[in-house]
Chain A
Amino acid sequence: MSFTWLEHTSDIRLKLESSSFEELFTDALRAMNELLGPEPARSEPGKTLKREISIEASDITSLLVDFLNAVLLETSIHKTLFSEVVSMKITNETISAILNGTPCRSLTRDIKAVTYHEADVKMNQAGKLETILVFDL
Chain B
Amino acid sequence: MHALRQLSPFLWEIPKTFRKDMRVPARIYASAEMLGHILQDRSLEQLLNVTTLPGIVQYALAMPDIHEGYGFPVGGVAAFDTESGIISPGGIGYDINCGVRLLRSTLSRAEVQGHLAQLGKAIFNRVPSGVGKGGLYTFRDKEIDRVLLDGAKRIIELGYGSHNDSENTESGGKLDTADPACVSPQAKSRGSDQLGTLGAGNHFVEVEFISAIYDNTEADRLGLQKEQVCVMVHTGSRGLGHQVATDAIRTMNRAMPRFGFSLPDRELACAPFNSPEGQACMNAMSAAANFAWANRQLVTWEIREAWKKIFGTSETLDLVYDIAHNIAKLEPYDVNSARKMLLVHRKGATRAFPGQPVLIPGSMGTGSWLLKGHPGSVAASFGSSCHGAGRSMSRTMSRKLTRIPELLEELAAQGIVVNAGSQAGLSEEAPSAYKNVDEVVNVIDVCGIAKKVARLRPLAVIKG
* Interface set of A (CB-CB < 8 Å, partner B): 5, 7-12, 37, 57-58, 62, 66, 69, 73, 76-77, 79, 106-110, 112-113, 115-119, 134, 136-137
Task: Kindly list the 4 A-B residue pairs having the minimum CB-CB distance in the complex, ordered from nearest.
Answer: A117-B70, A116-B266, A112-B242, A112-B94
What 7 new A-B contacts, CB under 8 Å, besides A10-B395, A12-B396, A119-B266? A9-B392, A10-B68, A10-B394, A62-B250, A109-B200, A116-B267, A136-B94
| Across-interface contacts of B125 in A (CB, < 8 A) | none
| Across-interface contacts of B242 in A (CB, < 8 A) | 112-113, 136
**Given A62-B253, A134-B70, CB of A113 within 8 Å of CB of B245:** yes
Q: Are B396 and A7 in touch, CB under 8 angstroms?
A: yes
| Across-interface contacts of A37 in B (CB, < 8 A) | 131
Q: Are B186 and A110 in touch, CB under 8 angstroms?
A: no
Q: Are A116 and B249 in touch, CB under 8 angstroms?
A: yes
Q: Does B346 reach chain A (CB closer than 8 Å)?
A: no
| Across-interface contacts of B267 in A (CB, < 8 A) | 115-117
Q: Are A7 and B246 in touch, CB under 8 angstroms?
A: no
A-B contacts, 15 listed (Cβ < 8 Å): A8-B395, A9-B67, A10-B69, A10-B74, A10-B395, A11-B395, A62-B253, A66-B250, A73-B186, A77-B189, A79-B132, A110-B199, A112-B95, A115-B70, A136-B242
**A120: nearest chain-B partner, CB-CB:** B266
**Given A7-B394, A112-B242, CB of A58 within 8 Å of CB of B254:** yes
**A7: nearest chain-B partner, CB-CB:** B394
Q: Are B131 and A109 in touch, CB under 8 angstroms?
A: yes
Q: Are A117 and B266 in touch, CB under 8 angstroms?
A: yes
Q: Are A106 and B131 in touch, CB under 8 angstroms?
A: yes
Residue in B190, B250, B257 whose beta carbon sits within 8 Å of that of A77 in the complex: B190
Q: Are B69 and A110 in touch, CB under 8 angstroms?
A: no
Across chains A and B, the number of contacting residue pairs, with CB separation under 8 Å, is 98
Most buried by B among A9, A12, A62, A69: A9
Cα A11 to Cα B69 with chains together (Å) = 8
Q: Are A58 and B424 in touch, CB under 8 angstroms?
A: no
**B256: nearest chain-A partner, CB-CB:** A58
**A111: nearest chain-B partner, CB-CB:** B242
Tell me how far the C-beta of B34 lies from the nearest C-beta in chain A, rounded to whole angstroms.
Answer: 14
| Across-interface contacts of A66 in B (CB, < 8 A) | 250
Residue in B95, B133, B199, B239 whose beta carbon sits within 8 Å of that of A106 in the complex: B133
Tell me how far the C-beta of A23 lies from the nearest C-beta in chain B, rounded to whole angstroms.
Answer: 23
Cα A117 to Cα B73 with chains together (Å) = 12
Cα A10 to Cα B69 with chains together (Å) = 7
| Across-interface contacts of B67 in A (CB, < 8 A) | 9-10
Chain A proximity mask over B84-121: 1 for CB below 8 Å, otherwise 0: 00000000001100000000000000000000000000
Chain B 341-359 residues near chain A, CB threshold 8 A: none
Tell me how far the C-beta of A116 lies from the nearest C-beta in chain B, rounded to whole angstroms.
Answer: 4
Cα A70 to Cα B246 with chains together (Å) = 10
Q: Are B395 and A137 in touch, CB under 8 angstroms?
A: yes
Q: Are B396 and A107 in touch, CB under 8 angstroms?
A: no
| Across-interface contacts of A115 in B (CB, < 8 A) | 70-71, 94, 267
Cα A79 to Cα B213 with chains together (Å) = 46
Tell me how far the C-beta of B129 lies from the nearest C-beta in chain A, rounded to whole angstroms.
Answer: 11
**Given A76-B190, A110-B200, A116-B267, CB of A7 within 8 Å of CB of B397:** yes
**Given A10-B68, A117-B71, CB of A69 within 8 Å of CB of B132:** no
Chain A proximity mask over B229-243: 1 for CB below 8 Å, otherwise 0: 000000000010011
